[in-house]
Chain A
Amino acid sequence: MSDAALAHATTAESSAEFIVEMKQISKSFGAVRALHNVDFTLRPGEILGLVGDNSAGKSTLMKVLTGAYHRDSGEVLVDGHATNFRTPHQSRDFGIEMIYQDFALCGNMDVAQNIFLGRWPRKGPFVDRKLMYAEAAGVLRRLNVNVNSVYQKVESLSGGRQQSVAIARAISFDPKVVILDEPTANLSHVATETLLKTMLELKAQGVAQVIISHRLIDIFEVGDRVMALKRGENVGDRYIKDTTEQEILELMIAGTAETAKSADAARARLASPGSSPRPSP
């Protein structure tokens, strides 16, 4: 971290400003150093693109956040509280949800049962079907997505709609942070557009989102900020409005610790030659 002093000053005056703040995270798998002193911040209601080449450490960083992996060193603050999640269930209690690339749904069950997968509401010894279908319909309405029926089997849905179910599932926990791992990898053009609309809808409801993606075009369409990793280190952090796809690509490929200043620092430097800084989103 090149400008530690500046970053520290920023966090000190506004620690509750971030819904998630990770400091100096390191994680190794045996001899392989997956993450090295990585810093990460996320504001409430912000859409952050997390980019980097394969093996840059994007998924590892997010799994450290959810508790799927345990960090070797560093701090994780959620809503200002120091945390040390041992499992994804613990991070869920703090409002963090991850949507996996493969959606992790069971195709032999219907939409509502998948939204409540593993925690079907109960009435005595039985599953409370009435409540389950009613609440599932409510979650889908909130998402504003069109899945024909909560009674439809998930395996009969298109990839895009299956993803809507996966998102609905995440939303049903009423999270503050949703992490989407390569959400557009299997989607058609139309389904991608729908997804991006859904993300903006969630943003409007104050849900912060991290989108791990190779597709910069998606991040530039809905994102507020983009953060690049390279071989497990920070190499860049920019507001979408201050940067271009070209610059981010350069950071991903040729970024160094020197380029890794915070988005605010990058903006400040951008401002100094004379161009006026644009309002923060």
Chain B
Amino acid sequence: MNATPDRFTLAARTLHWLMAVMIVAMLFIGVGMVATVSARHEWLLAIHKPLGIAILLLAVIRLAVRLRHPPPPLPADLPALQKLAALASHWLLYFLMLAMPLIGWAMLSAGGYPVMLGDSLRLPPIFPTSPVAFAVLRHLHTAFAMLLFLTFLAHMGAALYHGLIRRDGVFASMLPAASPRVDGDGEEVDADNAGRLSAAPQDD
């Protein structure tokens, strides 16, 4: 699998889709819980904190996987600006998925709150108590959440653009190797399937 240059490793793909679900859910939970006075505020908050720490742990593992296994190269004919946008947005996503949980944790610490992940599981504070730091970190948490959501939208839009418009195998590189024909020239088969997976039906 590692030898296939046009597809992310199994670990990378698994982490990508697992974390995609978690992060998108987290963004909706986050904006939802602060915009209601109903009981949703409580149970969303109860999910938000442990889910955030889970994302932090997975993000650390994911960063290690990414540094160990460089991703498949982007198509040679991709305009330089799009290549730059892809690279920059990916590192922005890595930065935000690491920074957001840390900011949330630091923010609660600065606000003097016990950082409870459940009824009795408590994390130690990672920032001294300070109302000024709390306010700055709390606003940063929201601003970065908005930036993360916009980056996610751009990322999703770009992935669909690669899959539906360019059909250059970039989208397929994050999909499972769904080929039943794994014998013989696996690389060719994969590339082939990648092309087909990302293409709309051929007959109009």
**A and B associate:** no
What residues of chain B have their CB less than 8 Å away from a CB belonging to chain A? Answer: none
